[in-house]
Structure 1
Amino acid sequence: MGLAAATFILLFFISAPYGRHTRKGWGPQIPARLGWILMEAPSPLLMGALFLLGSHKSAASIAFLVLWEAHYLHRAFLYPFTLSNPRPVPVSITFFGACFNFVNASINGYFLFFLADHPASWLADPRFVAGTALFAAGFVVNRWADLLLRGLRAPGETGYKIPRGGPWELVSSPNYLGEILQWCAWALLTWSLAGASFAVWTIANLAPRAVTNHRWYRERFPDYPPARRALIPFLW
């Protein structure tokens, strides 16, 4: 938690150098699609392996695995190929991201499939039901935001435009909002410290970047919608 707090504060002053914030000075770079795959692949692969090796394979355990894989298989093996003319990503960012995903999947997978024992009845528990509904909502917001963002550029275009439509009318980083909703929901539906730590870490990483993105849009586009917030609709 202390590391998450330090990261949260630091990222308000130093934006991670990928995407629109890519800059020199962070070492060698690799193609963005390759970087995304290498960074995200450890998470679905390791979680799947831990499920196969673990002793807990109840219906609830299978549900946890399905939700996790639904997010990370898309993130690792589909999302990179939807990027339109992406900028190269530093090897250092890919490495640190892969390390985080390895540790995070290890902690969550070990807890769910080796330590915790969620019976099939957990599927009817209000925490699981509410968490799954919130996870689905976050998943939809995240994918919807990505879909609208991809539609901004015509083939061959490399510039930036003001995103319009759907959740983009409310906040400058609805894709981050969707992901935060997903992992807060994960903490609820697994009712675990492992899930809670992931949710806290997600907020610590994405909330400052959402603020940076919001400021970047306002500085770049004089006609940027004044009512649009950074991350939380109508509030922040």
Structure 2
Amino acid sequence: MPNWYRLLVLLEIALAVVTFVALRFITAPYGRHLREGWGVTVPARAGWLVMESVSPLLFAILFLSGPRRADLVALVLLAMWQSHYLYRAFIYPFLLRGGRRMPVVVVLLAIAFNVLNASVNAYWVGWIGRYPVSWLADPRFLVGAALFAGGLTLHVWADRKLRRLRASTSNGYQIPYGGAYRWVSCPNYLGEIVEWTGWAIATWSPAGLAFALYTAANLAPRAIDHHAWYHQQFPDYPAERRALIPYVL
């Protein structure tokens, strides 16, 4: 593993620590938490499209330029990565309600992270990682792939549930019920954390571990903020429901 690559992975882990600490004091100003004082804004649909499209496009470019581009396992891992980001970059933004906005600074920070993250993961899968075909039967891959698929399914389902609720009310928000919302306020974030934990296990890579850590560091504080917001907005919000992890957090 080249030294420069190791440093980039360590940088992402360091960013996870910084992000977690920062987000315990500052609520990221987008979505329901959008507020003034964060500079110029752009339509949320355009912001999501621009910042999230970096990941599938850069990953594909780096992967296809690498020596593992024809390896079966590497192609499976490519398909896993793209399955998430094609949804996140090219489907999810067009399902958002019109009129929403987000600060440009959020878009730029997300682009910077996605460049780093897609690069280290694509370089591992397409250049450094060595996976024989037998890896597809390895317990680490099977467990990781199952977690990835389950997390992605939960993530997409939870997004759809929220979207339907917002479409049925004038103020845009209601208390979600049913499914995983029975136990947690943010199953979409839980799904994404499970998903990238699965990726880390399936790839068994330092890049995958760094991404899983960053995902949890980024989304756990936001789930806590969402949970507090629900309690502030809805006096009858279910008291037994947790923010992110059933019965725990």
Change (3 A) 1:231 1:155: closer
Aligned alpha-carbon RMSD (Å): 1.2
Name the CA distance, whole Å, in 2 between partners of 1:165 and 1:151: 13
Partner residue, 1:44: 56
Q: In the alignment, which residue of structure 2 is the partner of 1:226?
A: 239
Superposition deviation, residue 84 in structure 1? 2.2
SS at match of 1:152: helix
Within 5 Å, give how 1:188-199 maps onto structure 2. 188-199=201-212
1:41 is paired with a residue whose SS is helix
| TM-score, normalisation: structure 1 | 0.97
> Counterpart in 1 of 2:27?
15
Pair 1:118-2:131 in alignment: yes
Counterpart residue type for residue 153 of structure 1: R
2:223, 2:243 within 8 Å by CA — same for their partners in 1?
yes
- CA deviation profile, 1:63-86 (whole Å, cap 9, x unmatched): 100000000011000001111245
State the shift of 1:153 in Å. 2.4
Deviations 1:143-197 (A, max 9, x none): 1101111110237834321112211111011000000000011000000000000
* Letter of the structure 2 residue corresponding to residue 109 of structure 1: A
CA distance in 2, matches of 1:6, 1:94: 18
Correspondence 1:44-123 to 2 at 5 A: 44-56=56-68, 57-85=70-98, 87-123=100-136
8 Å CA contact retained: 1:85, 1:158: no
Is the CA contact (8 Å cut-off) linking 1:128 and 1:189 kept in structure 2?
A: yes
How does 1:156-195 map onto structure 2 within 5 Å? 157-195=170-208
Gaps of 5+ in 1: none
Gaps of 5+ in 2: 1-12
Alignment match of 1:212 (pick from 225, 241, 247): 225
Moved more, 44-53 or 203-212: 44-53
The count of corresponding residues between Structure 1 and Structure 2 is 236
Is the alpha carbon distance of 1:180 and 1:32 closer, same or farther for their aligned partners in structure 2, counting shifts above 3 Å? same
* Partners of 2:59 and 2:118 within 8 A in 1: yes
Residue aligned with 1:160, SS: coil
Q: For residue 99 of structure 1, report the CA deviation from its aligned partner.
A: 1.2
CA distance, structure 2, for counterparts of residue 39 and residue 156 of structure 1: 29
Alignment TM-score, normalising by the size of structure 2: 0.92
The reply on whether 1:33 has 2:79 as its aligned counterpart is no
Deviation at 1:223, TM superposition (A): 0.2
Separation in 1, partners of 2:217, 2:165? 28
* 1:22–1:87 Cα contact (<8 Å) kept: no
- Asked if the contact 2:165/2:172 (under 8 Å) is kept, the reply is no
Matched to 1:27, the amino acid is G
